[in-house]
Amino acid sequence: MGGGFRVLHLVRPFLSFLPEVQSADRKVPFREKVIYTVISLFIFLVCSQLPLYGIHSTTGADPFYWMRVILASNRGTVMELGITPIVTSGLVMQLLAGSKIIEVDNNVREDRALFESIIWKAFSPTTINSGRGAEFEGAVIALFHLLITRSDKVRALREAFYRQNLPNVTNLLATVLIFLIVIYFQGFRVVLPLLHRKYSGNFLVNLLGKWKESEYSGQSVPVGGLAYYVTAPSSLADMAANPFHALFYLVFMLTACALFSKTWIEVSGSSARDVAKQLKEQQMVMPGHRDSNLQKELNRYIPTAAAFGGMCIGALTVLADFMGAIGSGTGILLAVTIIYQYFETFEKEKASELGLFGF
């Protein structure tokens, strides 16, 4: 960059007071990266069980209950905010960079946190008394427990697959199915041919939503207003009883995801204009098209691909919610994306290490 003024220069006087993680001055072996990742995950899990000093937990409804699965947070612990600071700061930085308010290197990696909800609800050894005696929370453990303790095996299987108010095998299978669908969609690409030249008592309140406390979880759930219609139906029976709710939720999610995807590529520096500029700087061309027409040609693909991709993500989220998948559709999408990125990193590291030995 030139010697002109940059907004980031304003924070230079404060850099000496801020903590900093320096980049490695050597190539870190993949095994060492895995060890540090496992240690970090262990610290995160310990902090998720470490209560905040001076804070007394109450039995009242948790206002952030619906967000905790996505944010990987735990109420009343050191991880009260979960990954919110990382995700929020990353989004804000991308918006500032995309709008050219600041100029940063977008290749810097951001730390991510993985979700433990699905594994926990599949194999949780915690026992809960739901009125039918002590039951295991984990769906898999509950399946074997019911088959061993119940004399009527058919009834035991039916209870393991369809029990209410606790994770069941059907929820777990739906989660696995959504995982497989998301992984399949991860492989979708839009290929562009490129060549290198060189290389309640208030109307407004009632409109926004009515809430009541659930008799099972003690959490507040929407029962009316916009909050109800933009929340996924709680079960297939709820969908059958109120098909308009399911249809409205489906249309809302697909439309919102498509519009957000188109807007995001504009503000994050991934629009046709930005891509055309990057390709021109790298001296890349599309065969059969002049440089002046490159942006126009990209406009035929990028906005449409972004909107279609957003609708696919919205459809996967809706499908997961309708099937009762554990962790919500959004949480599954985020978890699969992060796991897939780790898998790609593993493959690159593996190929790099093999290349060093001449294979």
- 115: phi then psi, degrees, rounded to nearest 5: -95, 145
CA angle 142, 234, 236 (to 5 degrees): 85
221-241 tens-digit pLDDT: 666 777 777 777 777 777 788
Of 328, 344, 340, residue with least CA distance to 118? 328
The pairing of beta strand 220-224 with beta strand 210-213: antiparallel
pTM: 0.47
Higher per-residue pLDDT: 278 or 61: 278
pLDDT of residue 321: 73
Share of the chain above pLDDT 90, in %: 0
Tokens representing residue 10 in the block: 């304003």
pLDDT of residue 215: 58
Whether the CB-CB separation of 115 and 331 falls below 8 Å is answered with yes
pLDDT of residue 210: 67
Distance CA 273, CA 169 (A): 48
Distance CA 338, CA 111 (A): 10
Of 345, 193, 181, 203, residue with least CA distance to 284? 193
Measured CA distances, 140 to 156, 284, 292 (Å): 13, 53, 60
Higher per-residue pLDDT: 228 or 291: 228
Of 103, 87, 97, residue with least CA distance to 269? 97
293-340 tens-digit pLDDT: 777 777 777 788 888 888 887 887 787 777 766 556 666 666 667 777
Residue 177 has pLDDT above 70, yes or no: yes
- Residue 72: strand, helix, or coil: coil
